[in-house]
């Protein structure tokens, strides 16, 4: 199951908070890498959702065109 954009963004925010509060450099660096990864996954999820919406819109338009083409003239 794909993770939702909101979930992924929330994990990125948590990692950013962890980085901001980290006292050790290696902990801060790990949290920053984690934040970057979560943000990339969130951006990818947004692109996937937009592509899916675009495909659905195209399918709907194509079906409408086909339906209009099949209408009897009268």
8-57: pLDDT as tens digits: 999 999 999 999 999 999 999 999 999 999 999 999 999 999 999 999 99
Over 90: is that where the pLDDT of 72 sits? no
Q: pLDDT-based confidence at 71, cuts 50/70/90? A: confident
Question: CA-to-CA distance for 7 and 45, rounded, in angstroms?
Answer: 11
Closest to 9 in 3D by CA, of 48, 45, 33: 45
CB 31 within 8 A of CB 19: yes
**pLDDT value of residue 64:** 92
Q: pLDDT-based confidence at 74, cuts 50/70/90? A: low
HSE-CB of 20 using CA atoms within 13 angstroms: 6
pTM of the model: 0.77
């Amino acid at each position: 199951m794909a993770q939702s954009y909101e979930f992924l963004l929330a994990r990125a925010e948590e990692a950013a908070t962890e980085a901001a509060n980290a006292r050790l450099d290696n902990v801060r660096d790990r949290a920053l890498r984690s934040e970057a990864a979560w943000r990339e996954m969130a951006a990818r999820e947004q692109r996937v959702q937009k592509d899916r919406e675009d495909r659905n819109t195209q399918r709907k338009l194509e079906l409408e065109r086909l339906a209009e083409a099949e209408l009897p003239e009268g």
